[in-house]
Amino acid sequence: MAIEKIDAGLLQKAFLAGAYNLERNKDYINELNVFPVPDGDTGSNMSLTIMAAAKEVGALSNPTIEELSKTISSGSLRGARGNSGVILSQLLRGFCREIKDKKEITTEVLADGFVRGIETAYKAVMKPKEGTILTVAKGVAEKAVEMADKNVSFEELGEVVLAYGDEVLAKTPDMLPVLKEAGVVDSGGQGLMEFLKGAYNGLIGKEIVDVKATATSAAPKVSVSSEDIDTSHITFGYCTEFIILLEKEYNMDIEMKFKEYLTSIGDSLVVVSDDEIVKVHVHTNHPGLAFEKGLEFGQLTNMKVDNMREEHREKVIMEQDRAKAAEVETTKPAEPPKEYGFVAVSVGEGLDQIFTELGVDHIIQGGQTMNPSTDDVLSAIEKVNAKNVYVLPNNKNIVLAANQAASIEKEKNVIVIPSKTIPQGIGAMIGFEDSMSVEDNEASMIEAMGAVKSGQVTYAVRDTSIDGKEIKTGDYMGIDDQGIKAVGTDITEVVKELIKEMSDEDSELLSVYYGSDVTEEDAEALVAVLEEEYPDYEIELHPGNQPIYYYIVSVE
């Protein structure tokens, strides 16, 4: 029997099936990342966004459409990560606003919901770009309106709309040259289609899976705790944890060799695996080497690096002061909020320290390899006791989530400074002046940020051709704000070429932040070369301790 209307139960089933399908295909979506860097995370971001909502939707018993709409909207909004996740949450938000007052959904209501979702998502993006998830979503909405006018069943509408969505997706490389050069379709658009296809299959009863159970237990059921590890005599300073989403053969022999390698660079090793993932915990002085080895088997997620020496020192101090602090806290009146507060996204002990010294109140750990969610940003804002809170995303893929958090926060005045790199965030903090007004400081920080040119050096995870450059797996790549500027097998030469591309006749200051896989000696040797190359520049060297990126550089 043809489906003419969708009630709340069927909507719940379809949404959870769509979420499951997106989560199941996230690794494939990650592989569509244009740049061959070890941080292609569109699929992971969209999956985390949708599963945040799915967990809450799956827990509902006999909900109404209004309850479902509220839960889907709020869950995806707070769980949104990265630009693709935020856009997906906005598509869902607009759709839910359209259907929330309906008792049941017809094809006309569905089409209207798609249209409202498009309107909401386009408004959320400052400079919408065609050839992206927005283009695919717009094509789907337009075809849904066309089919709804023909008074067809949901089965007919779904088949035609999904086929057209795939057509639009296939054309995205023609709209964005960078996609065509890399030989991929838009990853965000692919993620949207995986969600819609899963939802359609759930609607018509195809590929039946226990989607509710999947939604409520999506996180891998393996865990490693470091709570009881003794850190009083620390040989290896970084507690490194990550999950490998397996893509290549992984058996007992391979695992033994993997463990042998990790043991050669660290200790306190725990490796737990099942058919699809490997959870790794190791103490090492070179987290990036562990990450790089893990990448041989698949994509990485849940990457975390903690400085145990610093944590141990802080723990001892906290233990000594705990009783006294507790006593003071019980009698101490709440402090009045200060005028200005700051939240910044950072990764790496050295970079964290720089932001703290510049006055940042709360640091969110994250960046390219794991984008903080809207809820993470909200939580950080709540922890800052200030009337006006400036948020520095320090990554282009976190700006939308920060803006979304600012729109939700009602008690404090939140100002998002749209910094897209760590150096821009540092420049923005330097541009702040306590004596100026909120508005003047916002302008000053944005102006200071605009004077900073940023670059970073990492390695390629696959062979590709992009920006007119042939890139081989393992090559060093120098990437600035516009794209890949240098490729080679000699890291010093790549850094030199990158800085040459970033510099102009007005450049005066060069800052270099070296990562966790670079020794101080190697960094100093690089700076010595740069001082010969640029004798008129003031050159500053800082330990950033960031993973993945050997060097972050800025030119002002």
pTM given for the model: 0.65
Q: Which residue has the higher pLDDT, 55 or 216?
A: 55
User: Is residue 535 classed as helix, strand or coil in its secondary structure?
Assistant: coil
Evaluate whether 539 touches 510 at the Cβ level (below 8 Å): yes
Q: Half-sphere exposure of 66 toward its Cβ, with a 13 Å CA cutoff?
A: 3
Q: Pairing state of beta strands 509-514 and 298-307?
A: unpaired
pLDDT digit string, tens, across residues 478-502: 999 888 899 999 999 999 999 999 9
pLDDT digit string, tens, across residues 416-473: 999 999 999 999 999 999 889 999 999 999 999 999 999 999 988 778 887 778 888 8
Range name among 28-42, 146-160, 336-350 with the lowest pLDDT average: 28-42
> What average pLDDT does the segment 94-115 reach?
93
Query: For residue 298, which of 518, 44, 19, 34 has the smallest C-alpha distance?
Result: 44
pLDDT recorded at residue 40: 53
pLDDT recorded at residue 274: 64
Alpha helices in 149-265 (DSSP H): 154-175, 177-182, 187-204, 211-216, 252-265
Helix 154-175 × helix 187-204 angle, to 10°: 170
> How far, in Å, CA of 371 to CA of 348, rounded?
14
> How far, in Å, CA of 233 to CA of 432, rounded?
41
pLDDT digit string, tens, across residues 164-206: 999 999 999 899 887 887 788 888 999 999 999 999 998 888 7
And the tokens for 465? 């051709």
Query: For residue 133, which of 74, 78, 194 has the smallest C-alpha distance?
Result: 194
For the chain, give the number of residues: 556
pLDDT digit string, tens, across residues 239-249: 787 888 888 88
Q: Does residue 210 surpass a pLDDT of 50?
A: no
Distance of CA 202 to the CA centre of its chain: 28
Q: Which residue has the higher pLDDT, 460 or 96?
A: 96
